[in-house]
Amino acid sequence: MQTYKVGKQILDKYADRIIRILRDKGITGLYDNRKKLVYATLESRDEDIISIYGHSSGLICNYAVYALYIPEYLSGKVADRLSSLNKIIAPGGFFYIDHSTQCIAFTTLYKAYDLEIRQELPSFISFCTRSTDLFLQYGEVFYKLIKNK
């Protein structure tokens, strides 16, 4: 098994594959060659979903945000609901409130070793779309919770 050095070249090499996988699901993606990040957006029925793919310490990381502001007075209620959902979806990432945006975020990681072979596996394809899939699955719940409906 060949191991690839994780660094800027990981996303240089696999950004196109990530973007193709996203495009197959109707998600717009682009690669910022200077910052070595893949950005993706999807306009959902309720709110936009914004994702960033990067690399760190042997991992490809996906950070996604459901772009609906959570009022401070609802933070505890939303955090409790996210904690319950995390038990259902584990392993494979987790929901939380990103306090820099005050939105619901989701993070998942993928080991970057032997990626040349693994990029065609269902596990890699699932990694690329997991955050969007989960936000689409639970988006209506999030929207009603945050909008108090």
Report the pLDDT value the prediction gives residue 41, as an integer from 0 to 100: 95
What is the Cα–Cα distance from 25 to 78, expressed in whole angstroms? 28
Which residues in the chain come in under a pLDDT of 50?
A: 1-7
Report the pLDDT value the prediction gives residue 119, as an integer from 0 to 100: 55
pLDDT tens digits along 78-96: 999 999 999 998 888 999 9
Q: CB within 8 A of 130, min separation 6: which ones?
A: 62, 92, 93, 106, 108
What is the Cα–Cα distance from 123 to 30, expressed in whole angstroms? 21
Report how far apart, in Å, the C-alpha atoms of 126 and of each of 17, 74, 123, 144 are: 13, 31, 5, 27
pLDDT tens digits along 125-141: 899 999 999 999 999 99
Predicted structure pTM score: 0.85
Q: Which two tokens stand for residue 13?
A: 């090499």
Q: Which two tokens stand for residue 96?
A: 């939380």
What is the Cα–Cα distance from 15 to 27, expressed in whole angstroms? 14
**What percentage of residues in the chain have a pLDDT greater than 90?**
64
